[in-house]
Amino acid sequence: MNQPSVPDSGQWFSNLLKSQQAVLGPFTADQAFAPWMQAATAFTSWQQETIKQMTSFWPMSMAAAIPGFPPAVNVAADRRFSAEAWTKNPGFDMLSKSYLVQTQSLQQALDAAPMDERTKAQWGFLLRQVVDALSPANCLLTNPEALKTAMDTGGRSLIEGARLFMEDFAKGRVSMTDEKAFEVGKNVALSPGSVVFENEVFQLIQYAPSTDEVKRTPLLIVPPCINKFYILDLQPENSLVAYAVSQGHTVFLVSWRNIDASLGHLTWDDYQQQGVMTALDVAREISGSERVNTLGFCIGGSLLACTLAVMAAKGQADKVASLTLLTTLLDFSDTGELGLMITPQSMALREASIGKGGVLHGRELAHMFAALRANDLIWPYVVNGYLQGKAPPPFDLLYWNADDSNLPGPMACFFMRQGYLENKIRVPGGTVQSGVPVDLRQITTPAFIYASREDHIVPWKTAYATTQLLGGPRTFVLGASGHIAGVINPPAKKKRSYWELAPADADAAAPSPAAEAQPALDPDPEHWFKQAQQYPGSWWTAWSEWLGQQGGDETVPARKTLGSKKYKPIEPAPGRYVKAKAT
């Protein structure tokens, strides 16, 4: 019996839909089935085009094996198949091209499916996970590079790959670097200083000055609690901490506790009161300054901004001189693919399990973030490690990335529900935090807001929305690159670039002297970008100039000893908390 042709299969699907029309009536059919009939027609067209390309692969792949013969099939280049072994053999060449064309066809079919954008994005994310996993590069028998390596080494690469797999299996994750090559406090997190305060939530580090004079107003850094703080102090040459110290700031930094079961009861309010508020008061007492400049990174920025709104509601806004937010979300209207993982159903399950007490394990968070970029953070290490027996080289950034941190369940659930799921943090009075309704408009201190243009975790246009939520003068700067590489961009490297409004676009109606040079910020991020000027190099210099204007120009002699009579040094930086491993 003959198989149905491609048009026949499409006609069969169309006839099936039409047969339902007689049962359901014309109105229902028009409303419910018309989009699907359009999708069926489009799918048939893609199916025909896919088969057409597939049937041309074999002769073209055979011809491509002839030296100097140009490829005749237009398939987008993919680094997974960039090695010569993939194009030299006609079979592997056809396999890789067939995979790429079918991947493209599946995505096109999904794009035309009659469903809402969020549902389509969720299916798109799941489709990409499956398609990425099924790449022929990820299987020994369909990866010519791995097969050649196995033959060249007499099978030793397979033995070594099996050993690496068993090590990773025991750890529960894929290794991306040689983790034995690094130790916190030995060759990462090296800036000198002392822990001057600690409680069950955090340790406070005061860093030693590197200048004879320091600014009277200190700087408090609040890093994300889902990662270790030393991404901001990885090496002396790329340390934001060391840079701030070199600019004459007395730097205090919050080192969050790596949560275990005994601390699974901690809430978002606890992180505000026992965390940020306490750190501010200790920094004020040690420095002798009434006000403190503050900086928050990622979720640390969200926590810091919410805390400042709470303090403003309680009449304590005068404790803070300025606010810097790095890749921070306060408006969660577009959170990229990360937000697709947080649904009402998944949130209800999570709250039932850890919402009243428990631990959100760092390993789970790491898997979630890796899934966002599986072709960068998972599969290359599977191929190189398990299939080719190549242990990953030492890389400090990837060591930090693998150094997981746990979160208390109640705290994490509050942030995910009020932020990612319901987007209530941005709404005046939409949430009650530390006993008061939170209104971000009450934050009237000058704010420096930074976003990275290629950030897949905090989309820059969503981060830009913060400029419309705060009540004080605001400066927005957009840096090149992604969530981490964009932030960690020291001036000495002379890399990348950043965008900000030129001084000529200053807001003449700025409400305070400190804001007179602040740019006018359009509500539309695209319009802002068209007005902005691109500058070469690091955004750190622009931030340093801005920060120098906050808290006054007064300087005082740098102290030779850290801490104070009330808060004596406990141990050298980076302290115990950051060294604790997630369990």
Residues 6 or more apart whose Cβ sits within 8 Å of residue 425: 302, 306, 330, 331, 332, 418, 419, 431, 438, 440
**Which residues of 208-326 form beta strands (DSSP E)?**
213-215, 219-222, 251-256, 292-297, 320-326
Tokens 């072709």 correspond to what residue?
A: 375
Closest to 342 measured CA to CA, from 132, 111, 172, 125:
125
Q: In what order do the strands lie in the sheet with 219-222?
A: 533-536, 497-500, 474-479, 447-452, 320-326, 292-297, 219-222, 251-256, 202-207, 193-198, 571-572
Pairing type for strands 251-256 and 292-297 reads: unpaired
Cα distance between residue 223 and residue 470, in whole Å: 20
The alpha helices in 338-467, defined as continuous H runs, are 344-354, 362-372, 374-377, 379-381, 396-402, 409-415, 460-464
Closest CA relative to residue 414, chosen from 267, 261, 256? 267
- Smallest CA-to-CA distance from 306 within 205, 429, 400 is with 429
For residue 125, how far is the Cα from the chain centroid? 16
Residue 139 is a catalytic residue:
no
Q: What tokens were used for 320?
A: 């803070």
CB within 8 A of 330, min separation 6: which ones? Answer: 302, 305, 425, 426, 440, 465, 466, 469
Residue 406 contacts residue 368 (beta carbons within 8 Å): no
- 139, 225, 298, 413: the catalytic one is 298
8 A C-beta contact, residue 434 and residue 272: yes
HSE at residue 430, side-chain half, CA atoms within 13 A, is 16
Which secondary-structure segment (H or E) carries 437?
strand 436-437
Q: Specify the DSSP element, H or E, that contains 124.
A: helix 117-133
Q: How far apart are CA 449 and CA 422, in angstroms?
A: 23
Give the HSE-up count for residue 134: Cα atoms under 13 Å, Cβ half-sphere: 12
Write the CB contacts of 340 (distance below 8 Å, at least 6 apart in sequence).
118, 121, 122, 125
**CA-CA distances (angstroms) from residue 130 to 126, 127, 138?**
6, 5, 12
CA torsion sign, 346 to 439 to 232 to 237? positive
Q: What six digits make up the tokens of 15?
A: 């006839």
What contacts 98, CB < 8 A, 6 or more positions away?
Answer: 54, 57
Token pair listed for 340: 């697709």
81's tokens: 């198949």
- Tell me the catalytic residues: 298
